[in-house]
Amino acid sequence: MSNYSEYQGIMRKIADIQYASAVLNWDQETYMPPKGATFRAQQLATLAGIGHELATSKELGDLLNALSADIALTEKEKRNIKQSLKNYNDNKKYSTEFVKELSKTISETFQAWQKAKAENNFELYAPFLEKLLKLKREECKLLGTFSHPYDALLNQYEPGAKTADLEILFSDVRNQLVTFVKQIAAKTQNKDHFMFLDYDKQKQWQFGLDLLKQMGYDFDAGRQDASSHPFTTNFSAQDVRVTTRINENDLNEMIWSCIHEGGHALYEQGLPPEEYGLPSGEYISLGIHESQSRLWENNVGRSLSYWKANFKMLQQTFSENLGSITFEDFYKAMNIVKPSLIRTSADELTYHFHVLIRFEIEKALIEGTIEVKDLPSYWNKKYKEYLGIDVPNDTKGVLQDIHWSHGSFGYFPTYSLGSFYAAQFFAQAKKEISGLEIEIEKGNMKPLLDWLREKVHRFGKYYSAEELCIEITGEKLNFKYFMDYATTKYKKLYNMDSN
Ligand code: CO
């Protein structure tokens, strides 16, 4: 057996273990009865241990080092080896002691966060978060030298991302988008009260399935179930599952979770199955993953053409609530811009202010320029500054997100990166696919899906995020595309064309 096929064999074994864990996790979030929790945690810990052993074994290290000098490999094979060697070396930087300490601190912090959020008591959470933050700062150091310590954390989710680049990007958000949203706020506001009437659960469920089908989601390679937080998970490219959350008094939740998770799932279903377990069979980064969900959710799902295709069916399904609503009013309701407290239910423009605030706070925490005890007041000040709203309590403020309690610092920026990549990719798709919007109006999503398969999905991790963006659009990520998309669309929606 050649070294390369030996490497493939080990990588696939590691993937088998990771995906088996993913099945157990999926089950935990969907069907597991409450008493199953204790042994489930043990099963997951055992599998994680086996996976870590394989991923850091001397055998794999020796193979990777030998293969990285092998000039006979194809370009794709070389890139796989380079990627795997980097992961291997990164894994090796963690001592077993550190990993244990981190995982213990994370479970304690997560529990403290749950309690603190339920009781609106930040004090309960602060000492744990402080301890966790100390470990994250240590982690930055052990991962090596970066031009900014926060880069080390960012790179875990968005390989190659730099704090310095994000500072420029978010200063564009501050200077351009914040100003634009203030102009929108001065206009007459559109209405969406009809989205919050009684909507039958079963009918919503069926409608969500129809939307997924229309997008091209393959139900022979996936399924949809209900969970309290919508997510997508995959066990291979041929088994990619989505979940949704249905709220009988808010039609938005089903619509946006189905389209968003559907976008994530199409990416995973489009990865090459023959590259299973290898970097060339995996997604590039969280930012690129999110670009796929946001492209479908916002650029497609909140567009005029998309509702030209789907409004009639929705109206017929819920005629008691939507029978007298005009298409124009419905489209406006899908695109209401209004500063709000909670990130996950924010509109597609003010969403980025929520991320901007978290980015500024995380950076300051890692640099050590603010302390955990100052978080609530700092948070509230920023919400006043960027969103113009008063935060009534910490549960709806600094305690709202799960991320920090999991030690996920550097994750939030990938949400905004996703939207900005999406806008740039979609602008290119419109140039390359003739009559794209007319096809969408007809409910024909195939030309767009084919384009995404061809341009993004089939490559796996062959390109970095930056390389992929240049390959597709001829330039690096450029915030201009998002701003153009936002101003063109919302100036019409809010009658701002006169100036
Ligand atoms: Co997402």
Task: Summarize pLDDT for 193-237 with one digit per residue, the tens.
Answer: 999 999 999 999 999 999 999 999 999 999 999 988 899 999 999
The whole-number pLDDT of residue 435 equals 97
> Which residue, of 145, 178, 193, is where some domain finishes?
145
Q: Is the pLDDT of residue 499 over 90?
A: no
Q: Residue 73 — φ and ψ, nearest 5°?
A: -70, 155
**Among residues 133, 223, 493, which one has the least CA distance to residue 349?**
493
Residue 498 placed within a domain: no
Q: Could you tell me if 63 and 27 are in contact, meaning their C-beta atoms sit under 8 angstroms apart?
A: no
Whether residue 257 lies inside any domain: the answer is: yes
Same domain assignment for residues 55 and 192: no
**To the nearest whole number, what is the mean pLDDT of the chain?**
95
Domain boundary among 145, 179, 210: 145
Ligand 1: distance of its center to the CA of 63 in Å?
35
Q: The tokens 């101003």 sit on which residue?
A: 487
Are residues 167 and 44 part of one domain? Answer: no
Looking at the structure, do residues 273 and 303 belong to the same domain, yes or no?
A: yes
Q: One of 139, 158, 253, 261 is an active-site residue; which one?
A: 261
CATH number at residue 193: 1.10.1370.30
pLDDT over 60 (residue 409): yes
Question: For residue 233, how many other CB atoms are within 10 A of its CB?
Answer: 21
CA atoms within 13 A on the CB side of 466: 7
Please indicate, yes or no, whether residues 175 and 244 belong to a single structural domain of this protein.
yes
User: How many structural domains are present in the chain?
Assistant: 2
Residues 111 and 182 placed together within one structural domain of the fold: no
* Cα 74 to middle of ligand 1, angstroms: 33
Residue 176 and residue 115 share a domain: no
Domain shared by 363 and 216, yes or no: yes
Residue 103 falls inside a structural domain: yes
| Ligand 1 center to 308 CA (angstroms) | 25
- Taking only the tens place, the pLDDT of each residue in 67-84 is 999 999 999 999 999 999
Q: What is the 3-state secondary structure (H, E, C) of the chain?
A: CCHHHHHHHHHHHHHHHHHHHHHHHHHHHHCCCHHHHHHHHHHHHHHHHHHHHHHCCHHHHHHHHHHCCCCCCCHHHHHHHHHHHHHHHHHHCCCHHHHHHHHHHHHHHHHHHHHHHHHCCHHHCHHHHHHHHHHHHHHHHHCCCCCCHHHHHHHHHCCCCCHHHHHHHHHHHHHHHHHHHHHHHCCCCCCCHHHHCCCCHHHHHHHHHHHHHHHCCCHHHCCEEECCCCCEEEEECCEEEEEECCECCEHHHHHHHHHHHHHHHHHHHCCCHHHCCCHHHCCCCHHHHHHHHHHHHHHHCCCHHHHHHHHHHHHHHCHHHHCCCCHHHHHHHCCCCCCCCCHHHCCCCCHHHHHHHHHHHHHHHHHCCCCHHHHHHHHHHHHHHHHCCCCCCCCCCCCCCCHHHHCCCCCCHHHHHHHHHHHHHHHHHHHHCCCHHHHHHCCCCHHHHHHHHHHCHHHCCCCCHHHHHHHHHCCCCCCHHHHHHHHHHHHHHCCCCCC
Q: Does 180 share its domain with 139?
A: no
- Mean pLDDT (whole number) for 15-24: 96
Q: Is residue 321 part of a domain?
A: yes
| Residue 156 belongs to a domain | no
Contact 389, 383 (CB under 8 A): yes
> At which of 145, 175, 206 does a domain end?
145
Sheet architecture: strand order including 232-236: 224-226, 239-244, 232-236
Do both 134 and 201 map to the same domain? Answer: no
Residues 386 and 327 in one domain: yes
Q: Do both 284 and 187 map to the same domain? A: yes
- Going from the Cα of 453 to the center of ligand 1, the distance in angstroms, rounded, reads 18
CA of 157 to the centre of ligand 1 (A): 13
Specify if 432 maps to a domain: yes
Residue 70 alpha carbon to ligand 1 centre in Å: 38
Is 371 tagged catalytic? no
Query: 292 C-alpha vs ligand 1 centroid, how far in Å?
Result: 9
Q: What is the pLDDT of residue 498?
A: 56
Does 324 lie in the same domain as 470? Answer: yes
191 lies in some domain: yes
Q: How far is the CA of 186 from the centre of ligand 1 (A)?
A: 31
Average pLDDT on 131-155 reads 92
pLDDT band at 147 (very low <50, low <70, confident <90, very high): confident
Range of the structural domain that residue 222 is part of: 163-493
- More reliable by pLDDT, 107 or 123: 123
Report which of residues 37 and 358 the model is more confident about. Answer: 358
Residue 284 lies in a domain: yes
Digit-coded pLDDT (tens) for 283-342: 999 999 999 999 999 999 999 999 999 999 999 999 999 999 999 999 999 999 999 999
Q: How many angstroms does the Cα of residue 285 sit away from the middle of ligand 1? A: 12
